[in-house]
Structure 1
Amino acid sequence: MPKFLIQATYTQEGAKGLLREGASGRRAAVEQVVGGLGGSVEAVYFAFGEMDAILIVDFPDRVDMAAVALAVKASGGLQTRATPLLTTEEIDEATRRQVTFRAPGA
């Protein structure tokens, strides 16, 4: 199951919602959305600084992640960035594949 790192920053309206619901309420909302698509939530952390929340989630496929990202962005409550995460084994497999590439200007 593909794993993703999600980094989120609350908009002003999103921060107001967080203040009303609390972190537990937001985690429950995330678990409902992710679980509803057959995925799972590995971790949810809240932070302060550039990012307000950091999550690690698993989805059955990348299209599910894209659907959630679009819905979240359309809500206006958050700005998010989703990064696919690869296992050590997946990178090992990638290093064994032959790729021919010509650098620009070479």
Structure 2
Amino acid sequence: MATVVRIFRPAKNAMQSGRGTLGTWILEVEASAPIANDGLMGWAGSADTAKQIRLKFASREDAVSYAKRQGWTIRLSEPNERSIRPKSYAENFAFNRVS
């Protein structure tokens, strides 16, 4: 069975205000085996250890070329770009402000 990998650019953490780490792309292997619960301990486990792989790349092209060299099937997720509407501090006190 072919290994399926997902390549994506992660979203900004809600606890961060900066956007400095948004340039990295993540390659992670999707699970091919179901997660089974251990009856005695109650832990969740699987025989598929490849799903623990999570690699970081500087660009999308680097991640795609690495996955192709490994012979993996690629599922690429394009990021949603954020639109920033510049506004001034004075707009907070505008008469026709919609809150």
TM-score higher than 0.5 here? Answer: no
Higher percent of residues as strand: 1
Higher percent of residues as helix: 1
The higher radius of gyration belongs to 2
Normalising by structure 1, report the TM-score. 0.31
1 or 2 for the larger relative contact order (CA 8 Å, sep ≥6)? 1
